[in-house]
Structure 1
């Protein structure tokens, strides 16, 4: 069969089938790419810095519409309210986030039994590779700018130890700090004191900036496009299968023709066994014995 497949016309047919299959594979990749698209595109308005007090209210739920919003706030840090959150990556290395309580100037004051006269918000100030390098936050009044993010879920049944937290969980932190807080936290990008940036991005030291961008939008699967991508793969395999079937049929025809020649038949004709001519002569020329019998009286 390989001899048949190596005929020039079937080699050309194979090249055409492979080229056609390649086109089908590309179409499959295109359809697969269209099957997973963002449900909601990234909102460019989140990059416009807004006042924290105008964006989110303490004691309220954290609304998804304000997630990733760049915000600014004035206030001061409390060096006694600072924790390290382990298991955070930075440039492929595992380390710690430094999270400090920030008293927001002009923030609404909550009421209730456990409410405090000042409203706070946790701020992830930067990343550290070694917890021993953790330093107190900048002192004095600061103008903080960063990305507003929702509270994380704490790791259950885990005691991180004094000065540590399992996650940037507002519920966990306000219990440890004993303060009223906003329902989210800020990943700081700059901390300005007296006109100078004293944050991790500007100061050279072990504390590295987080550089958290807007989170990617949720993905949804378009099952119709996913089905089309699988269908194009089937078509690619079917093109090669058709070529193989044509070669196999050609091989069988050649095999049948060779068998016909071997038995003395014309390809597609009837057998010539050599007896047909003799039978015709017998019928055309009766034997002499038969003629004699007819002449006798």
Structure 2
């Protein structure tokens, strides 16, 4: 998958591992995030992917907090930790599930104009401080681990399903019914024509 592309449906929720490093000062809090039915906040970060040829970033949901104060404090601490990381340090291996972009929406009228309520990499990109000339993946990653005091974000694996394409089966059945009806109509017309021809021959013979 290339930066900017939509996440194909079969890949939604798949577990992946990426390597790279978090960008300091680009930890942003997203509100209205539910974890096991409890509303709270996500702390998100810009993860610069190490394996990409051009500078490329992936938005990552790092962890969940019950209050905005906890989320902001965690974001500040994570930013400090990222800033202290040596430039020559080995790339981080980050594992989580890929999720489709939720799309940006304006905040409620009564809220702070900078409030984010959707996990939208496009909206996060507009807030990142280190984003000049970078490519960005459209989906985001939900990390399977969280740093204290954040809690792990609950995610579900994708439904494996039965592998049966019911739409194709429906179309096949529809065509089978149509073909059967067409054959029946042809049979009726052919039989009617044959019966009329027989009647005409009988009438001619009787005359």
Tell me the TM-score normalized by structure 2: 0.61
> Given that residues 14 and 158 in structure 2 are in contact (C-alpha distance below 8 angstroms), is that contact kept between their aligned partners in structure 1?
no
Residues 180 and 163 of structure 1: CA distance in aligned 2, closer, same or farther (over 3 Å): farther
Aligned with 2:63 (options 115, 126, 140):
126
> Which has more radius of gyration?
1
Deviation sequence 1:214-263 (CA, Å, 0-9, x none): 24579xx9xxxxxxxxxxxxxxxxxxxxxxxxxxxxxxxxxxxxxxxxxx
Match of 1:210 among 153, 157, 160: 153
**Residue number in structure 2 paired with 1:155:** 105
Other-structure match for 1:6: none
Q: Which residue of 1 aligns with 2:17?
A: 72
1:67-146 to structure 2, matched below 5 A, reads 67-109=12-54, 118-134=55-71, 135=74, 136-137=77-78, 138-139=81-82, 140=85, 141-146=91-96
Aligned to 2:125, the other structure's residue is in SS state helix
Which SS does the other structure have where 1:80 is aligned? coil
Asked whether 1:61 is paired with 2:6, we answer yes
Measured against aligned partners, the alpha-carbon deviations of 1:159-193 in whole angstroms (never above 9, x if no partner) come to: 76476422111221222223421111000013xxx
Distance (whole Å) between structure 2 residues aligned to residue 70 and residue 174 of structure 1? 23
- Mark the runs of 5 or more structure 2 residues left unpaired by the alignment: 86-90, 167-207
* 1:168-247 alignment runs, 5 A limit: 168-177=119-128, 178=131, 179-190=134-145, 200=146, 203=147, 205-216=148-159
The one of 97, 113, 117 equivalent to 1:166 is 117
Which segments of 5 or more consecutive residues in structure 1 lack a partner in the other structure?
Answer: 1-55, 110-117, 191-199, 222-297
**Is the helix fraction higher in 1 or 2?**
1
Aligned residues: 145
| 2-structure distance, mates of 1:145, 1:183 | 17
Deviations 1:91-133 (A, max 9, x none): 3321101111100001142xxxxxxxx2101000110012222
SS in 2 for 1:76: strand
TM-score (norm 1): 0.44
8 Å CA contact 1:57–1:108 kept in 2: the answer is: no
CA distance change for structure 1 residues 157 and 207 in 2, over 3 Å: closer, same or farther? closer
- Contact between 1:170 and 1:183, CA under 8 Å: does it hold in 2? yes
Is the partner of 1:209 in helix, strand or coil?
Answer: coil
Alpha-carbon distance between aligned partners in 2 of 1:163 and 1:143, rounded to the nearest angstrom: 31
**Are the equivalent residues in 1 in contact too, given 2:6–2:100 (CA < 8 A)?**
no
Distance 1:79 1:60, change over 3 A: same
CA contact (8 A) 1:127 1:210 kept: yes
Provide the aligned C-alpha RMSD in A. 2.7
Hey, what's the Cα distance between the residues in 2 that align with 1:170 and 1:84?
13
Residue matched to 1:247:
none
